[in-house]
Amino acid sequence: MPKSIEDAKILIVATNGFEYSELTKPRDILAGKGASVTLASLDTDEIQGESGGEPQGKVKPDTTIGEVSAEDFDALVLPGGVGNPDTLRMEKDVVRLIQAFDNDDKPVAAICHAPWLLIEADLVDGKTATSWPSVRTDLANAGANVVDQEVAVDGNIITSRNPDDIPAFTDAIIEAVTSKAMAEAA
């Protein structure tokens, strides 16, 4: 683990239909704090973002999901949007990657509709989590204790509801990465 956020390596996984602000704002905040941030997708073609269901901006992935490994990163960030997590949860390599971060007890942060990916990876049973309102029944059915708050942290799982929660969501990611580093150093 890194000694501080400046030494952290953060992986973001997304594809077409991601909520633009939920990818770009955490990426920019984390990079602005000195973290190395990598975006992985299904391929390296530009991916289309959205805002409220309307197209908003494209982003070029740095690499593909098949070329990354949890062991090379300190945390995983999963932006929402409806189409993005719905597509990614059908990809076995994505689900295995999420599970690998969890198996390594590394922070896994999902916002908005992205907790669908945590459900698919079987990571929410017994955990406290939040999400976009339409995903909350799915979380409850998967065994989560569902709350309606800007960020929920339960062990290494971090969840948030929507773009308004991005500051708290990103702060929770930074806190998780740095507190894990301090615990390992002790």
Alpha carbon distance 28, 37 (integer Å): 9
The reported pLDDT for the residue numbered 181 is 58
User: Quick check: is 111 catalytic?
Assistant: no
The pLDDT score that the predictor gives to residue 182 is: 59
Q: Which residue has the higher pLDDT, 179 or 177?
A: 177
Check whether 183 has a pLDDT greater than 80.
no
Q: What is the pLDDT of residue 104?
A: 97
Tell me the C-alpha distance between 126 and 170, whole Å. Answer: 23
Q: Read off the pLDDT of each residue in 156-168 and give the average, rounded to a whole number.
A: 98
Listed in sequence order, the residues at least 6 apart from 26 whose beta carbon sits closer than 8 Å to its beta carbon are: 12, 77, 79, 109, 111, 166, 169, 170, 173
Whether 40 contacts 93, CB under 8 Å: no
How many angstroms separate the CA atoms of 165 and 35, rounded?
20
User: CB of 165 within 8 A of CB of 150?
Assistant: yes
Q: Is 153 a catalytic residue?
A: no
Which stretch of 11-20, 99-108, 140-149, 175-184 has the lowest confidence by average pLDDT? 175-184
How large a percentage of the chain has pLDDT more than 90?
91
- The pLDDT value recorded for residue 3 is 67
Query: β-pairing, 18-19 with 47-51?
Result: parallel
* The model's pTM: 0.96
DSSP 7-71: G-EEEEE--TTEEHHHHHHHHHHHHHTT-EEEEEESSSS-EEEEETTEEEEEE--SEEGGG--GG
- 56-109 confidence digits (pLDDT tens): 999 999 999 999 999 999 999 999 999 999 999 999 999 999 999 999 999 999
Over 90: is that where the pLDDT of 52 sits?
no
CATH classification at residue 30: 3.40.50.880
The count of structural domains within the chain is 1
Q: Which residue range(s) make up the domain with 81? A: 5-185
Looking at residue 185, its pLDDT comes to: 58
Over residues 135-147, the mean pLDDT reads 98
Using alpha carbons, select from 178, 128, 117, 125 the residue that is nearest to residue 151.
128
Catalytic residue selected from 27, 89, 106, 113:
113
Give me the pLDDT at residue 179, please.
85
Catalytic residue among 112, 119, 173, 174: 112
CB-based contact 173:154 (threshold 8 Å): no
